[in-house]
A and B are shown apart, each in its own frame.
Chain A
Amino acid sequence: MGKPESIDALLPPLAGKAELVRRLAAVLPPECLFDATEDMTPYECDGLSAWRTVPLVVALPQNEAQVAAVMKICNEVRVPIVPRGAGTGLSGGAQPHSGGVTLGLSKMKSILALDPVARTARVQPGVRNLAISEAAARHGLYYAPDPSSQIACSIGGNVAENSGGVHCLKYGLTVHNLLALRLVTIEGEILELGGEGLDAAGYDLMALITGSEGLLGIVTEITVKLLPKPQLARVVMAAFDSLERAGEAVANIIAAGIIPAGLEMMDQLATGAVEQFVHAGYPLDAAAVILCESDGTPEEVAAEIEHMSQVLRDSGATECRLSRDDAERLLFWSGRKAAFPAVGRLMPDYYCMDGTIPKRRLGEVLKGIAALSQQFDLKCPNVFHAGDGNLHPLIMFDANVPGQQERAEEFGARILELCVEVGGTITGEHGVGIEKINQMCVQFGTAEIETFHAVKHAFDPVGLLNPGKAIPTLQRCAEYGAMHVSRGKEAFSDLPRF
């Protein structure tokens, strides 16, 4: 985990706190502006709760005009802005800046329009992910990306992180399900990106903004695509007596031409942790459990389930159970969705990793994690978006035991570096934030990082938006120790090539 970076590039603020508050109070109602420490405590961290900082000021604008006004003021007085959605992010992207304004979008939570014929919804950034699907349900429609935190996380945060979910192999990530954005620039200018058609004019800035972690602008309006809700979904739960065999089964399913609606794997430590919590009926003697879901018309699901079950059995599944009804399907899924809190019940603290790897390297990576687990003497159950190669090792530790948190962080850093070594990435869906800022230096070389800074400069020349997050300075990478060369680039030389 990276320590929050000082923002040397910034000039000292041109106004003191009192002056800033006075100016913000002129554009925000009193209930939308906090500057007393006790009022700002709820904003001192996001889902990465190990790091806490009280911001200088919290601003909670109610509309786009107020967002633009706050941006203009901060730009004039050179005060950093940290955008924040629901605060559920896991990488510290909304970690406050002690000298900056935390700009929360939680009051902007209206669904502005829902067009059931064109199948689109225009919403404000503070709308919860699940609320979109709830509003669309009466038209038989839904919003597909479903991060596990979907009951709480906001769509604005989803755009900032390019969130995924358990169905993204078939239905795509946030970036694949957006049509248009309104963006307020650091100068307070309002830009429209994308449109109501499928393609946008000029450069594809939608893709650039999605996943940019609040470093390029503040999204104030989002038009999402809605999909017809599948008529039916069923899930097969398959047990395996080795992780390798389960990994092969995943590859065999894809190679058989099947794109499951969801394809998840849990190892024995993970199923053991969740079973005592949700009683989903997972076989506890299995080394790995796979959940493989099919959705569509009844005919599609019947054909696909038969095909999936055959492949799973041929791949050596020791047990295959098909959900009888929707209640049982949700029960099978409940364990997977509750994996994080279940692990949290077994240990005071856990640290959730998010690397993505080519699926064929799974066996080797899991072995590597097991070896690291012994080396650092910390347990690490694994849950895995198997279909798209996104691993979530959960490193268990107790922050009250001296040294454990440091060991957990070092263990996590080594897992991410292992992911990069096998041709993967340090983050599949949680974002870099402050958490993985050092590992960015492993994944990218100097020229790539300079390119990121050039893009940032085109949007935010002074560097006021979410400074110190997502993209490391070259100086930080130099201090982290030329890791790109020693553990990144050279490690690729033994990658098998087609």
Chain B
Amino acid sequence: MHRVSKLSFPLRPALVLVVPLAIALLAACTPENNQSTFGTAGPIAADQASLFKFIFWIAAAVFVLVEGAILYISIRYRRRSDSDKRPYQTHGNDKLEITWTIIPILILAVIAVPTLTTIWAQQNNVPQDKGEVLNVEAVGHQWWFEFRYPDHEVVTANEVHIPVGRPVAFKLESSDVIHSFWVPKIAGKVDMVPLNNNFLWMIGDEVGTYYGQCAEFCGIAHAHMRFRVIVDTEEDFQAWISGMHTAPDAPIAGSPEASGKNLFAANCSSCHTTDSTTPGSYAREISSQQARWNGWISDIENSGIVSAPNLTHFGTRSTLGAGLKDLTQESLEGWITDPSSVKIGTRMQKHAAVYDTADGTAKLSPTEVSNIAKYLLSLKPGSAPSGAVVETGGNVDGAEVFATNCTSCHSTGDNKIVGPGLAGIGDQAGSRVAGLSSDEYIEQSLREPAAFVVDGFPAVMPNWSHLGDDSIDALVTYLKTLK
């Protein structure tokens, strides 16, 4: 009736294997790795890591005891030879049961105390005694991060600058699905949940660049939704802020950058803002971003616009595509030519008319791509006072200005692209806004597009003042000829 086991295992090598693996877990600590939770550079992450280590060593002790007991008992009481001995049929022991119920409770109480104090130290308000708080609003988008500094009226994307040693209070929002804001070396993650704004504070203790990554599955490009936190000295941070309010130098006429600027304005600027340096541009960018979102969500299949990172002073950034690649002329050209070859899932190709080709690559020559890349890399705080314009030296052809800059959004007929068709604009312009002649209205539309937006169209038109007075005049004259 009893089956005699011929094969029995005196030792369990695989169990023995587990012990070195667990030891290797801590021994293999590589704090230098970019997202190591052990290589901390701020008090939040440091406290989280030390709490982890505290629990880990308690768990390690329990692990050694329990696994050791399993091995010891299995070996000591294993059947020898063919003994069919029946052990004593004991049913249990109440005292032991009470003991091994109470001991875990005590161990867990020891873990609970630092856990609870850390929760309340980290997840409540920013402590008063840590210094002046910097407020940042971080907005998750599929699949990039927008950063706004409401106190400084600065908006940027994918690379957030913070001053060393000062607490930063992040207000975490999402425009679409749930994302999670995580900078492993500085602070554990908090989710960005649509309609449920969250809060996270952190301090960067050491100057440097830190990796961040979205931690909540958010769709096809989740793996590519990364960002950087750049911890600056206080001086560098203030310099960065003031740089963000300084317009870049205008490109020299005829340079590749100047050509790139016009190409960018014609093909890219309805989604990407590059000029958030002027007063009022902060509020305008927030409303433009909202308008891009509204435009996209109301007609996902056909929308000509989509939420997109603000590219002001893009040349000062170190990465491309939400922390994906190092930013170089070469990588940027690759991106502009075929964005999804770099970052699958990006919506540029679906929505920007410039990618409306058979294979989805840009309708631009290699030189044009190169010029746009050069222009973007040239976007850095300049020496000239804000508002400098390109001087073109008279004799401008309005039709050419229109063809270069406006046709990706406006037709000269009646059909809508992103903006309205402009046939007959000269006749209608005089009656749009009381007190403005048609010349004044068209000029206002070009210089302050947000001042009056025609019903039914998104408020996404950029400010074209940088074309210069001659081009604007020529454009107004040309537009009035459209019938």
Decide whether A and B are members of one complex: no
Interface residues of A (CB under 8 A from B): none
